[in-house]
Amino acid sequence: MRQDLVVIKLGGASLLDPATRDQVVKTVRDYRRYDYDVVLVHGGGPAINAELTKRNISWSFINGQRVTSVEMINVIENVLFGQINAELVAALNEGGVPAIGLSGAKNNLLHCKQASAELGQVGLVESVNAEFVQALIAPEKNVVPVIAPIGIGEDAELFNINADWAAAKIASALKAKKLIFLTDQNGILDQDKKLIEHTDYVQLQQLINDGTVSGGMYTKVLTVVDALVHGVSQVRILRGTQAYDGLWSDYVGTMCKSSEVNYV
């Protein structure tokens, strides 16, 4: 039985870089070598943008989350699960890491309700089928689940889930020790655009409240706070190309830990 669980979220922009994908494969392989279970969650924003553009479908974002119409959701599912997920699983398998591709909807993993009427078919995760994932990482199967962030509603409707939120909810449900966000940025920046190397729940709340973080990083920081509050002891945000360095050093990217404050 492995000692701890790591959930890694790979951003869609990072997936465009073959070198980053190689780093991810190497990082996952070494985490497993040192007795960690690994679950991978991925995004796919740039690839989704390209496919929507090809189909002459316009889109917009609100606080880093894509407004999703019914017309768009099937396109998004096809890109995330049919394309990106399959490529990532193939890269892991070729790199000696046994992996299996999963859809949060098709595999009944991510149960959602609509986040808001304004966002359309964007899902708010209400529950995670943790037992299904735990069975895959158990010694009997011992594979790395690679999860596309598509959710399912109570009437079997599909929802687009922000991949950061999907990763945070999965990490909390699985009681992960670490949650790692691999992005196209160095980490969280302060008001002077300097990297924040170490932070906690209290400072993260301040960054949210004073508007220091915005756009995609605003949503990401919200998910970090949520994960820390719900039992994940350590969250890292770092550039995808530094994934392997982050395995060995606490001084790569931004390290987020819960403080001693009691949260209600």
pLDDT at position 2 is 58
Amino acid at residue number 20: T
Q: Residues 45, 115: contact at Cβ < 8 Å?
A: no
Report how far residue 177's alpha carbon sits from residue 175's, in angstroms, rounded to the nearest whole number.
7
Phi-psi region at 41: left, alpha or beta (left = phi > 0; alpha = psi -120 to 50)? beta
The token duo for 79 is: 């890109």
pLDDT at position 3 is 67
* pTM of structure: 0.93
- For the chain, residues with pLDDT lower than 70 are 1-3, 259-264
pLDDT at position 16 is 75
CATH (one of 1.10.8.50, 3.40.1160.10, 3.40.50.300, 3.50.50.60) for 4-257: 3.40.1160.10
The token duo for 259 is: 């403080």
The full set of domain ranges for the chain reads 4-257
- Going by C-beta distance under 8 Å and a sequence separation of 6 or more, which residues neighbour residue 219? 63, 64, 65, 162, 164, 165
pLDDT at position 133 is 96
pLDDT by residue (tens digit) across 4-39?
999 999 987 777 778 888 889 999 999 999 889 999
- In DSSP notation, 34-79 reads TTEEEEEEE--HHHHHHHHHHTT----EETTEE-B-HHHHHHHHII
pLDDT at position 30 is 93
